[in-house]
Amino acid sequence: MHAMNPELAATLNRWKSKGDTIVFTNGVFDLLHAGHVTYLRGARELGDRLVVAVNSDASVRTLGKGSDRPINDEESRKLVLEALRSVDVAVIFSSETPLELIMQIRPDVLVKGGDYDPKVQDREAKNYIVGSCEVIDYGGKVAVIPFVKGHSTTLMLQKSRSKD
């Protein structure tokens, strides 16, 4: 298990000691769009603090999103996310899934987007929420926020390429 960034650990301890509800989500967040912003705002409304785990560049390449992804590098994606009012902290993770980070942070609420199902417990299922069983086991909650139709990075890229 990798040690958590000491600065992040101290911040989390401070929030937890104040009784703040910590919400966790993760994703690529490559080309930020209205769907992302709406999703992150909704996630933040589920608690007092929002921690966003951002896929590293190397992990994005394993997700099958295309050889040209990510468009923006991991540090740029992290910087943009942290500029949003709804995001308290963003952290880059390089493992295949954010499970290790979830277990270190122990969020009160784990959130994913509309293509996931909190009832699915088969860890191999495409719509399984990584960490959901563990979060529920220690008393946390799992939530899904619906997608905003017509907004995705893939759609943005398709539109931009069709105008060439």
Does 75 fall in a domain? yes
The pLDDT score that the predictor gives to residue 154 is 53
Does 1 fall in a domain? no
CB atoms closer than 10 angstroms to residue 117: 16
Q: What is the pLDDT along the chain (164 residues), one digit of tens a residue?
A: 677 889 999 999 999 999 999 999 999 998 888 888 999 999 999 999 999 999 998 888 877 676 777 889 999 999 999 999 999 999 999 998 999 999 999 999 999 988 888 889 899 998 999 999 999 999 999 999 987 665 555 555 555 566 55
Does 136 fall in a domain? yes
Half-sphere exposure of 29 (CA within 13 A, CB side): 31
Report how many domains make up the chain: 1
Does 142 fall in a domain? yes
State the residue range of the domain holding 47: 6-13+21-162
Assign residue 45 the CATH number of its domain.
3.40.50.620
Does 139 fall in a domain? yes
The tokens for 9 are 């650990």
